[in-house]
Amino acid sequence: MIFGYARVSSKAQNLDRQLVELREFGVPAKQIFTDKESGKDFERKNYLRLRRRLREGDLLVVKSIDRLGRNYSMILEEWAFLTKTAKCDVVVLDMDLLDTRSKGDNLMGKFIADLVLQILSFVAENERLNIRERQAEGIRVAKQNGVKFGRPKTKMSASIRATFPLYCAGKLSIEEVLARTRLKRSTFYKYYREFLEEE
């Protein structure tokens, strides 16, 4: 049997383009499974339903490899499950080399598809590491140039500052201070500690 799988990351996104391509390939509409969920893992309701339906010799068709997921190490594991454990064929429409179907020598087709997937995985992981490195370098340079990260420190207003001596002298309770300044208790104590350090 032939099955199709389509995924978008959120309910606001549209599956139509993927569905059209799957149907044009020859996947019957009733055998296309869809999810509108993140690709961070494979715990997706309809993907799991599809997985349970797959039998040896079946064909799974997806528009692109990132429709399966976005984590390449997890995609590699899932690819191994599909092609080696479940013994299905997989076709990725936008990459001809990711096609495990028999082309005279089925073993060669599977080998090439596995190899391409390994290379894609390496490239994606390498790019992730490069992005992290560039971000860390950018942060380091920005800090050297005096850029401050995080929320800017807020200054105490004169009216808030005026309540501290009254609070210290016991002339205002904490509830009265909070009502007067409209501060949260934690914010009040943060400012109060700063006030005491200044004294």
Interval 82-92: pLDDT, tens? 988 999 999 99
Higher-pLDDT residue of 55 and 153 is: 55
CATH topology of domain 2-124: Rossmann fold (3.40.50)
Cβ atoms of residues 64 and 1 within 8 Å: no
pTM: 0.60
pLDDT at 9: 87
Residues belonging to the active site: 9
Q: Is the pLDDT of residue 34 over 70?
A: yes
Task: State mean pLDDT over 25-41.
Answer: 92
Residue spans per domain, the chain: 2-124, 158-198
| Sheet of strand 32-36, all strands in order from the earlier edge strand to the far edge | 32-36, 2-8, 59-62, 89-92
Rg (CA), the chain: 29
pLDDT in tens, 169-185: 888 888 888 888 888 88
> At 126, which amino acid appears?
N
Q: Which residue, among 22, 119, 106, 33, has the nearest Cα to 76 in the 3D structure?
A: 119
